[in-house]
Homo-oligomer: A and B are copies of this chain.
Amino acid sequence: MKHDRILLSHGSGGSLMHSLIRDIFLRKFNNPVLNQLADAATLALKGEAAFTTDSFVVSPLFFPGADIGKLAVCGTVNDLVMAGAVPEYLSLGIIAEEGLKIAVLEKICDSIRSSAKKAGVRIVTGDFKVVEKGACDKIFINTSGVGRITGKSRMSAQMIEPGDKVIITGEIAQHGLAVLAKRKNIDLKLNIKSDCQELASMLVPVIKKTGAVRFMRDPTRGGLATTLNEIARSSRKGILIDEKSIPVSSQVKTACDLLGIDPLYVANEGKAVLIVENKKSGRIMAMLKKHPLGKRCAVIGSVSENFKGRVILNTPVGTQRLVDMLSGEQLPRIC
């Protein structure tokens, strides 16, 4: 590269942009579809497809456990998995601030590359825009994703039935706390890392082999509480949760106590909530526990005919409380 920082000309459509595309994006994401440099990528798809989009504006760009690049791949991959799809193709839309160090862009692209490889997806189309210094904060990334849906993987909130079990695939609230601590420069000495991970490798086999997952959603912005409320509302069922069954690491518990935060509302980036048939919940739990990302999975509650559209928490002291959606703003730019 002739320059060490992004110039406005890198986004002009002209020769400098073409060099950047060749020297960074084609080199790092090299695959036959992308290499065509067509206005649109051609995908080979059979049957139904899933399609999703997510923009990433996380600040800071790098934080314990992940960075904006890994997040941009995992976030979109996971949204495809939540729809019962096998993630296949990603687009990559970058908005960079004039003056961004090209070394930072390269580091982010390396992270995108390795995360995409791990999740089994290819970056097949992209766009690169540059805005003047001060018009955006360093870099924003949009990824959109296309995945393949196969027959047995159909899921929807409408399929949820009373008696179904509610499973969380692991310990909650790590991503939000890791970003918060890094941003505010709080050293909690607790070694909390973002849980940012792609969930395709763990969850696609569970969906396909058991055929017993009714619905699935990843508790990102708004945390577990907000996601459970979304599920309760769209299924028009009640969700009863046992507080003591929710997996929370001791470090996260301590950090939440110190900071006065409820872990139920803290964002996750490598967890899923599964609503599953009661009689197959044991088999599903066994499959999850065998996977490195599912070791701390837990049945945290069940679906009820009562409390339609609401989430009820059984507390350790034997009382019940209503858990609502996140109402304000806990921490902006968490993802």
A327 at the interface (CB under 8 A from B): yes
**Interface size for chain A: under 10, 10 to 19, 20 to 34, or 35 or more residues?**
35 or more
Q: Are A53 and B137 in contact (CB under 8 A)?
A: no
Segment of A41-49, A303-311, A315-323 in the binding face: A41-49
CA distance A234 to B39 in the complex (A): 13
Query: A144 — which chain B residues lie within 8 A by C-beta?
Result: 51, 53, 91, 93, 142, 144
Known: A15-B326, A93-B144. A40 touches B131 (CB 8 A): no
CB distance from A28 to the nearest CB of B (A): 17
A114 at the interface (CB under 8 A from B): no
Binary per-residue interface labels of chain A (240-283) against chain B in the complex, 1 for a CB within 8 Å, 0 otherwise: 00000000000000000000000001010000000000000000
Q: Are B93 and A12 in contact (CB under 8 A)?
A: no
Query: A98 — which chain B residues lie within 8 A by C-beta?
Result: 332
A292 at the interface (CB under 8 A from B): no
Q: Are A53 and B14 in contact (CB under 8 A)?
A: no
Segment of A120-128, A190-198, A206-214 in the binding face: A120-128
Q: Are B39 and A217 in contact (CB under 8 A)?
A: yes
Q: Are A329 and B53 in contact (CB under 8 A)?
A: no
Which of B7, B45, B328 sits near A45, CB closer than 8 Å? B45
Number of copies: 2
Segment of A80-88, A103-111, A167-175, A294-302 in the binding face: A80-88
From DSSP, what is the main secondary structure of chain A's interface residues? mixed
Q: Are A127 and B53 in contact (CB under 8 A)?
A: yes
Q: Are A222 and B91 in contact (CB under 8 A)?
A: no
Binding site for B on A (CB under 8 A): 7-9, 11-18, 36-45, 47-57, 59, 78-80, 82-83, 85, 89, 91-95, 98, 124-127, 129-132, 134-137, 140, 142, 144-147, 149, 156, 217-218, 220-223, 226, 230, 234, 265, 267, 324-330, 332-333
A-B interface, 10 closest residue pairs, ranked by CB to CB distance from nearest = A13-B221, A14-B326, A13-B222, A144-B144, A53-B91, A40-B52, A40-B83, A39-B82, A142-B142, A40-B50
